[in-house]
């Protein structure tokens, strides 16, 4: 599907969708708790559908109840077919760990994009714990023979994916001897580990750790059923806020200003760029502003790279982004994808392995290949609103985390036509 975008003036109020990261974490914890839990205001998108499907195949009952999900967990059984995780990296990586608690054999498979992404460090960690885990050269498919989890000490790097660490945290309380998780390199994306810890706490689990989270100590405990309320998603909200800053005015509700989410950093970074904003009562209003270039280390909020790169394209001066190397291992190589699209729109950009330099200017319309990456599609839609005459190819990829995106963009005044 293509999104045809004409130059538009943006104005209006909208609600941020619920957090994908918190919805996935809530599902995993509820699945591990024996009895019924309630997840309130969950995100219903491709990634969370994938999680619901695979959890259902191992014996977790999930049903809709007036906008909430009732999750009956704690009784796993061997699935009678492959656990297809679509292109949800969180689902695949979290389920690799959960399958260690499933009696019998589980085979986890993935969509074409996810099948290219690394799993080796997590598979190695599971093997250290005595779990029979086989991968296809460090990638999906993954075959795990689960059952009794003994636990003990396990080491893994902290600078590849925080999801690997979160996956081990989820199953650590199930281990007979508990689990001591030691990171062999500095932890990146620390906010996501804090999110996992907080979600586990909501389900009755205590997580011990040192100051920099390079050592975690989790003793044997039982998950307890809970009512879990999912807050708004700052990652998805970043596009709506940025649109207001460059193309009119937006008021975005359903946002927690004290959120643990790494991408809540967006409103601080917008402020550093000179954006005019007002905040209060769970809402942020962003007004069109003359933005100036800035520097930022994105190690802890790597998913903001596409949003910030699009903002830098219209900011005065040269912006510099570092700590971006892990953006190359997402749904696409986001550094390369942003460079390709920016060049098509006439923006000067310099790419290095772990650094991006963008000289602000006046982007013109172009045909943009989204690479099947939801964040690339939404980032370039912002520039399309400014420049007009823009086509986003593979526009349906926003369904991964933000299915209503194109409808919301139109409700805010965006001239968008979907073709196909």
Q: Which CATH code is given to the segment(s) 2-17+232-419? A: 3.65.10.10
Q: Give pLDDT, residue 148.
A: 86
CA angle 298, 307, 265 (to 5 degrees): 50
Q: Which CATH code is given to the segment(s) 20-216+224-229? A: 3.65.10.10
For the chain, residues classed under CATH 3.65.10.10 are: 2-17+232-419, 20-216+224-229
pTM reported for the whole predicted model: 0.96
Let me know if 132 is a catalytic residue.
Answer: no
Burial class (CB in 10 A: 0-12, 13-18, 19+), 354: middle
Strands across the sheet with 83-84, in order? 83-84, 104-109, 142-146, 132-135
53-82 pLDDT, tens digit per residue, is 999 999 999 999 999 999 999 999 999 999
125-184 pLDDT, tens digit per residue, is 999 999 999 998 999 999 999 988 999 999 999 988 999 999 999 999 999 999 999 999
Burial class (CB in 10 A: 0-12, 13-18, 19+), 174: buried
φ and ψ at residue 295, rounded to 5 degrees: -115, 145
Rounded mean pLDDT for each run of 10 residues along the chain, 420 residues in total: 98 98 98 98 98 98 96 96 97 98 97 94 97 94 94 94 97 97 93 97 97 95 98 98 97 95 96 94 94 96 97 98 94 96 98 96 98 98 98 98 98 96
Q: Give pLDDT, residue 50.
A: 98
Which neighbouring-strand residues pair with 232?
18
125 in Cβ contact with 150 (< 8 Å): no
**Pairing state of beta strands 295-297 and 318-322?**
parallel
- CA dist 337 and 407 (Å) reads 24
Helix (H) or strand (E) holding 375: helix 374-387
| CB under 8 A, 24+ apart: contacts of 211-216 | 212/186, 212/187, 213/158, 213/183, 213/187, 214/158, 214/182, 214/183, 214/186, 214/187, 215/180, 215/181, 215/182, 215/183, 216/165, 216/169, 216/172, 216/179, 216/180, 216/181
User: Token pair for residue 399?
Assistant: 């369904």
312-342 pLDDT, tens digit per residue, is 999 999 999 999 999 998 999 999 999 999 9
Helix (H) or strand (E) holding 412: none
Q: Give pLDDT, residue 336.
A: 96
CA distances from residue 288 to 71, 273, 277, 311 in whole angstroms, order as listed: 43, 12, 9, 12
Handedness of CA 183, 184, 189, 190 (dihedral sign): positive
Residues 47, 87, 303, 369: which is the catalytic one?
303
């Amino acid at each position: 599907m293509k999104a045809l975008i004409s130059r538009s003036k943006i104005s209006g109020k909208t609600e941020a969708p619920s957090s994908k990261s918190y919805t996935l974490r809530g599902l995993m914890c509820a699945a591990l708790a024996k009895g019924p839990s309630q997840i309130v205001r969950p995100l219903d998108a491709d990634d969370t559908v994938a999680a619901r499907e695979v959890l259902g195949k191992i014996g977790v009952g999930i049903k809709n109840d007036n906008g909430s999900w009732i999750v009956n967990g704690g009784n796993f059984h061997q699935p009678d077919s492959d656990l297809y995780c679509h292109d949800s990296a969180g689902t695949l990586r979290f389920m690799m760990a959960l399958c260690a608690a499933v009696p019998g054999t589980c085979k986890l498979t993935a969509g074409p994009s996810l099948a290219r992404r690394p799993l080796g460090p997590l598979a190695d960690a599971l093997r250290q714990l005595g779990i029979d885990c086989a991968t296809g050269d460090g990638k999906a498919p993954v075959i795990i023979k689960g059952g009794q989890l003994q636990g003990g000490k396990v080491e893994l790097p902290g600078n590849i994916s925080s999801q690997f660490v979160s996956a081990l945290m989820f199953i650590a309380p199930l281990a007979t001897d508990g689990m001591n998780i030691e990171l062999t390199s500095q932890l990146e994306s620390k906010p996501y580990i804090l999110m996992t810890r907080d979600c586990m706490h909501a389900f009755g689990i205590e997580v011990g750790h040192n100051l920099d989270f390079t050592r975690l100590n989790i003793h044997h405990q039982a998950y307890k059923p809970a009512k879990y309320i999912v807050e708004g998603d700052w990652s998805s909200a970043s596009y709506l806020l940025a649109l207001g800053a460059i193309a009119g005015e937006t008021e975005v509700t359903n946002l927690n200003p004290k959120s643990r989410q790494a991408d809540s950093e967006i409103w601080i970074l917008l402020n550093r760029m000179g954006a005019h904003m007002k905040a209060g009562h769970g809402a942020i209003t962003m007004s069109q502003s003359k933005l100036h270039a800035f520097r930022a280390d994105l190690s802890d909020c790597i998913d903001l790279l596409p949003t910030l790169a699009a903002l830098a394209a219209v900011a005065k001066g040269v912006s510099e982004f570092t700590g971006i190397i892990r953006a190359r291992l997402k749904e696409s190589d986001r550094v390369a994808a942003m460079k390709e699209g920016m060049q098509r729109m006439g923006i000067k950009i310099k790419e290095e392995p772990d650094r991006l330099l963008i000289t602000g200017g006046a982007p013109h319309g172009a045909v943009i290949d989204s690479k099947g990456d939801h964040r690339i599609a939404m980032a370039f839609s912002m520039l399309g609103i400014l420049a007009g005459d823009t086509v986003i190819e593979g526009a349906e990829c926003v369904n991964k985390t933000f299915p209503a995106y194109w409808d919301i963009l139109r409700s805010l005044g965006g001239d968008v036509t979907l073709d196909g």
